[in-house]
Structures are given as C-alpha cells and as structure tokens.
Structure 1
Amino acid sequence: MCSWCYAFRPVWTQIQQQLDTRISVQYILGGLAPDSDQPMPLETRLYVQGQWRKIIETVPDTPFNFAFWEQCQPIRSTYPACRAVLLARQQGREYEIAMIQAIQDAYYQQARNPSDRNTLYTLAQQVGLDSDVFISALDDDTTQQALLADIHFARSIGGNSFPSLFLQQNDVIQSIPHHYTDAAKVLRTIKEALIR
C-alpha cells in the first residue's frame, strides 16, 4: 500500500536477483493505517496524489493511474491489504510476493480500491489462494494479531518508514540504505555489511 514501496519494486527485484545466496529475504508489514470505513480526508488525498507525482519525478517510468481518485472512494485503511498479504504468506513465499504485486498493480495501475474486501477477494483468486479460506480469515482476530506482531517487530528494529531494508547477521540487525534507481549501490552496501 506504500507508493514508495511500489516505486522501489523494480530495483528491489534487481537486488534480489543478485543477492548473495546466503541471504534469505523476509517481508515485514508496516501497517500504516488501521481498519476504517471513513472516506479519506481531502487533505490526505491531495498529499498522496502529491507523493505519486513526486515518485514520477524521482523514479521515472513508475506508472500511476490517477483515475483512481475519480473512480474510487479512497479510504485510508491499509490493514485489510496487509492481512491479505499475511494470508498469502501462509500459503508460501511465491504467493506472498504475488499478492503484494497484485495489490500494488490493482491500486496504482488499474485504479482498483485496495481497501475494498471484494477487490482483495478477487486478487486472492487471481494469485491462486483458496478463496473460501481467504474470505473467512481476512478479518479474523488471528490474522489481525499476526499483522500486529509484524508491525511491532518492524518498529522494534527501526522500521518506521517504508520501504526499509535491514540485514540480520546472527543477533545483530542493521539498517541498509535503499536507493530507488540504483540497485548496484544497495548491493555494494549489503556486501560491505556482510564483510564486517
């Protein structure tokens, strides 16, 4: 749900393709906005649209479909999409990645509302999840508690803005600066951190 995470996706894909095979990747959800059915305030809408424009300037070729703001009722509620990713994670890493990408593409490119349960149900089917299980578990307390655990862990290691990259070696976790257009720069930083 984070537009900057979406903008980082192409470089992140390049980074993962070149990562040292000793490194395993774990996605941690940051939450952002709790459950709500209230329309997004105008001030927030304008801020988010401004971020989209800033991304287009900073990370060229990042596609955004601004029709979203006319076709959908924006709601500042990212927890449902986060729980959808958690349910996909339970099915396997490939489903987790597919769900993240499906939600991003639906929101930013197809002007579909990622806060809408029906959108999430459709995306779950699209990525191959068991839709009956997905529907019954999306708003389940167990799923919510798993999300809160992810959010707590993210905050405990300094993940307060997104995207964030961290490298854990043994019991030491360190922040890795990211770059939106230069995968090589991030890979060098990771390599240097591994040498220490």
Structure 2
Amino acid sequence: MTVRLVYVLDAYCGWSYGFARTMAELTAAHPGLPVEVVSGGLFTGDRRRPIGQYEFIRDANERITDLTGVSFGPGFERLLDEGSFVMDSELAARGVAALRALAPDRSVELVGALQDAFYQDGRSLSDPATYRALAERTGLDPDLLVAAFESPNAVAEAAADFRFAAELGVQGFPTLLAVEDERVATLAVGHASTEEVTRRLAALR
C-alpha cells in the first residue's frame, strides 16, 4: 500500500495557518503523494467564544510569524481589535469538507486559501459569502461551493473529521502523519520546515 499523508488542521488555528507554506511546498515537491486533509475541532463547545477572550492570540501570532514568516493581515487585525468575532470550528470544518468534495486533488491549496480569507482578510468561515468569494478567486463554481458548504453532507463530514482526528490521537494542530497500512508515523506537530518533513518522510521510506 502507498504511503499517504494525513494532514490534521483547524482552519481557525494560527499554527495551522503558519504551516500552510510547508504543506504547499511539500505537495509541490511530491505531486504524486496522496494527502488527506482532515479538520480538527479546536473551537467547539464552550471554546466557541469571542476572539477577544483569547488573550494569548497576539503573542502566539508573533511567534508564528517569527518561525514561519507568515503575516496576519489588516482584516484579521481588525477582528482581533474589535474582539467580538466568534470562531466556530464546526462551520469551518464544513467549509473544508465542501472544498474537499469539489476539488479533492486541490485540498491543500484550497484550504490554504481558506485560511488566507480569515487570517488576511478577516472573513468569517461561517459565512457563505466567504466561500462564494473564494470560489471566484480559485476557479471553482461559486454556486456549487456554497451549496456544498450548506449541505447535510458537509455537516456529516465535519463530524466524521473530528472523530477521525480523535481516533488518530491528535492533540494539537497542525499534525502531519504518514500512514501506510496499520503504521502511523508523526512527521510534524505544530511547526516544521519543509526540509524537516522531507527528511522524516525519506527516513520512513
């Protein structure tokens, strides 16, 4: 059986946003390597609170920028300053599921674009208009993407993603795993450079 990567992230997780560049470089360097993108449930239940209540975010974002080079755009900074925006990982996971359904071979790229919509432009990942705009930028059918986001299948897929992440024992986002048959090896948790992930992947082979 071929090795596949399982990439567990949360679209509202700053560290997952910082890891998007590594994932883009990795998939570009290994175009034939299957990657399964799975959403984790970071902001669910009683963690679904206004962003202003998470005082660690500014300091964490500075560390993310230092380590990865990503920037946080003015739209996101306005949300952080205003403080009332509520991050809902279940709805974000529906968005990931919709993108995955429409263009499975572009999942890593499209989820990176979804993260940009939040962390650059400050767009809500709960809002169908965000997915319409994303579709227009990335060459997808806007009506199909919005319909997929609002579908019962996206609800079921989001729940299935959360269960799968838990079954894999994932406790932090992002987590990148290499899976072959019953073997599961961890390639990255939180942060790793493309070179580090590539070395770990080569060692498995």
The question of whether the paired residues in 2 share the 8 Å contact of 1:4 and 1:55 is answered with: yes
Alpha-carbon separation, structure 1, partners of 2:178 and 2:131: 31
Alpha-carbon separation, structure 1, partners of 2:50 and 2:160: 26
Q: Which residue of 1 aligns with 2:130?
A: 119
Change (3 A) 1:178 1:12: farther
Q: Which residue of 1 aligns with 2:27?
A: 16
- The secondary structure found in structure 1 opposite 2:116 is helix
Alpha-carbon separation, structure 2, partners of 1:116 and 1:102: 15
Q: Which residue of 1 aligns with 2:101?
A: 90
Change (3 A) 1:134 1:20: closer
- The secondary structure found in structure 1 opposite 2:178 is strand
Deviates more, 1:171-180 or 1:185-194: 171-180
| TM-score normalised to structure 1 length | 0.81
Change (3 A) 1:116 1:35: farther
The question of whether the paired residues in 2 share the 8 Å contact of 1:86 and 1:96 is answered with: no
Alpha-carbon separation, structure 1, partners of 2:187 and 2:49: 35
Change (3 A) 1:17 1:130: closer
Alpha-carbon separation, structure 2, partners of 1:49 and 1:84: 25
Which residue of the other structure, out of 11, 24, 28, is the alignment partner of 2:38? 28
Gaps of 5+ in 2: 1-10
Note the C-alpha offset of 1:187. Answer: 1.2
Q: Which residue of 2 aligns with 1:177?
A: 188
Alpha-carbon separation, structure 2, partners of 1:55 and 1:162: 13
- Give the root-mean-square deviation of aligned CA atoms: 2.7
The question of whether the paired residues in 2 share the 8 Å contact of 1:137 and 1:143 is answered with: yes
| TM-score normalised to structure 2 length | 0.78
Note the C-alpha offset of 1:5. Answer: 1.2
The question of whether the paired residues in 2 share the 8 Å contact of 1:15 and 1:183 is answered with: yes
Gaps of 5+ in 1: none
Alpha-carbon separation, structure 2, partners of 1:155 and 1:128: 33
The question of whether the paired residues in 1 share the 8 Å contact of 2:38 and 2:165 is answered with: yes
What is the correspondence of 1:149-160 to structure 2 with a 5 Å cutoff? Answer: 149-160=160-171
In structure 2, give the amino acid aligned to 1:49. R
Q: Which residue of 2 aligns with 1:100?
A: 111
Note the C-alpha offset of 1:35. Answer: 8.2
Alpha-carbon separation, structure 1, partners of 2:157 and 2:88: 17
- Of Structure 1 and Structure 2, which has the larger fraction of its residues in strand? 2
- The secondary structure found in structure 2 opposite 1:76 is coil
Q: Which residue of 2 aligns with 1:47?
A: 56
